[in-house]
Structure 1
Amino acid sequence: MSDQSYSAAAPRTSKRLRSTAWTRYLFVLPVILFLLVFIIFPIVYNLILSFQNVTVYNFKGHHAFAGLASYIKTFKDPVFYTALGNSVLFTVLSLVFQFSIGFALALFFNRSFPGRGLMRSLMLLAWMLPVVITASVFQWMLNGDYGVVNYILQSLGIIHEPHSWLSENGTALLSTIVANIWVGIPFNMIILLSGLQGLPEQLYEAAKLDGAGKMLQFRHITLPLMRPTILILLMLGIINTFKVFDMIFIMTAGGPVNSSNVLPIYAYQMSFTKFQFSQGASVSMIMFAILTVLAVIYLRMSSKEEAA
């Protein structure tokens, strides 16, 4: 190719490359706009709001900078620690039972037997139902006057008089935990089952030839190979469970006397019941910080897992 032809083709090639680059940016633009409008902007606005003194009286006026006043007020409120403790208890108990029962069901459905597909589909109904329906059904079942749970327990002689499960301090939070466990079991089962079905059968056949029983196979083959799936599932479970709002709000609204109050409901109460918008924003940012720390821990654990 002559020098003249090369010099004429070079600008066209450069222009074509720039056009391709702009086309790529246009494809990414909707995602960037979505992140800016629905994720980054609310977080930044909430952060700014938490450092101001915004109430229902000055909502449309000038918002003076208040520093850490909202955070200090939040940390001095005993209800905050009640909600934090309930959130931790709600998350831990829900995850323990969701994961344990989900893993047991995943191991069960990993075997071939007649009707496995139908039974697995029926198990998914609990996860597919909207939360408002599930919470309303459990609210009806646990009602102290006409709930089916009291009827069954009294018929079996376990209790002698009906209990108001959602109106008593000792059982309100536990009732919401039971409902959340029921919702989360199918999700855990499906994720773990997909991980189990991807494990190589050759390892189990070799273990059988070496005389390893079911427990040894589970301990030395299944658990180590399922570790990445388990870590992802637990991390997602912590994030989703720690921020549960609708289930508890419909069933107990955080009562009675804050016995089932959790951080999302506490933030809602501060913002939309007491109209202390800055304090509600500070509670949301505290939740965000907690979940961010947990996410960072998970990322470090997963990076070490990949390096190993």
Structure 2
Amino acid sequence: MKAQAQQLRRFVWYRPSEPKESSLAWILILPCLLMIFGLAVYPIIYSFWLSLHHASLLSQVRTFNGFENYTEVLKSAEFWASMARTMYYVFVSLAVQIVIGISVAVVLNQDFKGRRFVRSVMLLPWAIPNIVNAVMWEWIYNASYGALNGLLMQLGITNEKISWLGSKFLALNMIVAADTWKMVPFYAILLLAGMQTIPKDLYESARIDGSDSWKSFFHITIPMLKPVLLVIMVLRTMQCFGVFDIIYILTKGGPANGTMTISYYVYFETFGNLNFGKGSAISFIVAIIILLISLVYIKLLRTEEA
């Protein structure tokens, strides 16, 4: 019996015809790894290689120039001007959209009739494709037949048509407004989900201690929403740095480069001036800046549990 048990044990543990579990796992995930490498890792490596070369579509010869593209970008006044516009766009968008998003989330967190319907309808702006949203706001802002001018004139607020995209400062803020209309549902849904995870006992205890609604909001709701706010701010900062489609449709970087944010500047250098090396260098500089800003967010919104 003992010999038979040893043979049975040897038969169970030794199966040369079947691959090991780890080998099978690698075989199963290999297609995904190849896809990730082909769509993400390889383009990043190739872009970094381009950033170290003088690479232009006008010339087939690509000469290695080290970090010359990086130093040229950092010395460029156009780069810093576009970066300043981008930082303004980021922080104004975040400030306005977070305030509106929290306000909408607070309303949707209340118990009222038709709440589910209102939540569903609120998601419609966010579901609209970016290009469709940009074209819609192009019609709204049109100085000749735009709906915004028509509404203001009907209400008697103004007697003349306003060129909403005709000046630098106004055009950039109008783009922020158009982006806010689309992105507020994104803020509201995430913040609403965060609010619903806050224990009701905290509000009841605060009410017993004499705290009113405003104090409970600032001392319970906001601190408990820090993890959600961190996710929102990091994601939206990356999106704002990469905003392109709405600027391309509405202003194409104008007037007088007044809305040329960093993403449009990268597009202009890469496909306008056909300087792929410089465009790649700008992209990596922007990636480092986004990383530093994200670290600042993490430092400011770090919770005690983290």
TM-score (ref. length: structure 1) = 0.91
Q: CA RMSD in A?
A: 2.3
Letter in structure 2 aligned against 1:32: L
Equivalence for 2:227:
228
Equivalence for 2:31:
30
| Whole-Å separation in 1 of the counterparts to 2:277 and 2:189 | 40
Q: Does the CA contact (< 8 Å) of 1:79 and 1:258 recur in 2?
A: no
| Whole-Å separation in 1 of the counterparts to 2:298 and 2:222 | 20
Relative distance call for 1:26 and 1:156 in structure 2 (3 A) is same
Q: What is the DSSP-based 3-state SS (H/G/I as helix, E as strand, rest coil) of the residue aligned with 2:54?
A: coil
Q: Does the CA contact (< 8 Å) of 1:82 and 1:258 recur in 2?
A: no
| Whole-Å separation in 1 of the counterparts to 2:245 and 2:57 | 24
Equivalence for 1:166:
165
Equivalence for 2:272:
273
Letter in structure 1 aligned against 2:303: E
Equivalence for 1:196:
195
| Whole-Å separation in 2 of the counterparts to 1:185 and 1:18 | 51
| Whole-Å separation in 2 of the counterparts to 1:183 and 1:203 | 33
Equivalence for 2:184:
185
Which among 280, 303, 306 is matched to residue 305 of structure 1?
Answer: 303
Q: Within 5 A, what are the aligned runs for 1:74-93?
A: 74-93=73-92
TM-score (ref. length: structure 2) = 0.91
1:247 aligns to 2:246 (yes or no): yes
Equivalence for 1:127:
126
Q: Does the CA contact (< 8 Å) of 2:51 and 2:278 recur in 1?
A: yes
| Whole-Å separation in 1 of the counterparts to 2:12 and 2:294 | 47
Relative distance call for 1:14 and 1:174 in structure 2 (3 A) is farther
Letter in structure 2 aligned against 1:9: R
Deviation of residue 23 (structure 1)?
2.2
Deviation of residue 307 (structure 1)?
4.4
Deviation of residue 135 (structure 1)?
0.5
| Whole-Å separation in 2 of the counterparts to 1:143 and 1:169 | 16
| Whole-Å separation in 1 of the counterparts to 2:38 and 2:196 | 39
Q: Within 5 A, what are the aligned runs for 1:196-215?
A: 196-215=195-214
| Matched-pair identity in % | 31
**CA deviation string 1:205-241 (max 9, x = no partner):** 2222222211121122212222111111211111122
Q: Which runs of 5+ in 2 are unaligned?
A: none
1:147 aligns to 2:135 (yes or no): no
Deviation of residue 292 (structure 1)?
2.5
Relative distance call for 1:300 and 1:43 in structure 2 (3 A) is farther
Letter in structure 2 aligned against 1:99: I
Deviation of residue 5 (structure 1)?
4.5
Q: Within 5 A, what are the aligned runs for 1:63-82?
A: 63-82=62-81
Relative distance call for 1:14 and 1:269 in structure 2 (3 A) is farther
